[in-house]
Amino acid sequence: MICVTGTPGTGKSKVLEVMRKRGYDVHELDEIKKCISGREGGEIIVDERCLSTVRMEGIYFGHLSHYAKCDAVVVLRAHLKDIESRLMKRGYGRKKIMDNLECEAIDLIGYEAASLHPGRTFEIMNEEPEKTADAIEKIMRGEVPPPAVIDLTEEILAWY
């Protein structure tokens, strides 16, 4: 089970589309109905403890997919301006946008994923979905990419 995760707005859905077009068995985490505990403001609430019991075949996309029993975790990262733009198009409120930007800036999901799956977590700056899909295919073949150094410090400093 390959889990592709990342802060909302990092481009998971676009990469999922590319992987699906390439013939891969891809799923959205929301398909795991047994782990959905409700809805809040139109958003699906997922039970993280339930996810920790999930072990399936295929590639699972979702910003909490790293809580599942993954063979490898790919954390998609993105530039803060891109995330902000995407979340604005989705109609997210300013507070929710800032919460997500802060999570991306401090690499919260990358930290969680690496803590849950040490040695099996890979971060990719998702600037082009096709190239990101290529990188995921390499990871699936067992090719270990060099550790990513993704520093968003300059982008954060632009806030001030």
More confident residue, 133 or 41: 133
Say which CATH topology domain 2-78+109-150 has: Rossmann fold (3.40.50)
SS3 71: coil
Per-residue pLDDT tens digits for 64-119: 889 888 999 999 999 999 999 999 999 999 999 999 999 999 999 999 999 999 99
- Work out the average pLDDT over 8-15: 96
pLDDT digits (tens, 9 = 90+) for 107-118: 999 999 999 999
Smallest CA-to-CA distance from 72 within 133, 8, 116 is with 116
Domain residues of the chain, as ranges?
2-78+109-150
List the end-to-end C-alpha distance of the chain, in Å, as a whole number.
41
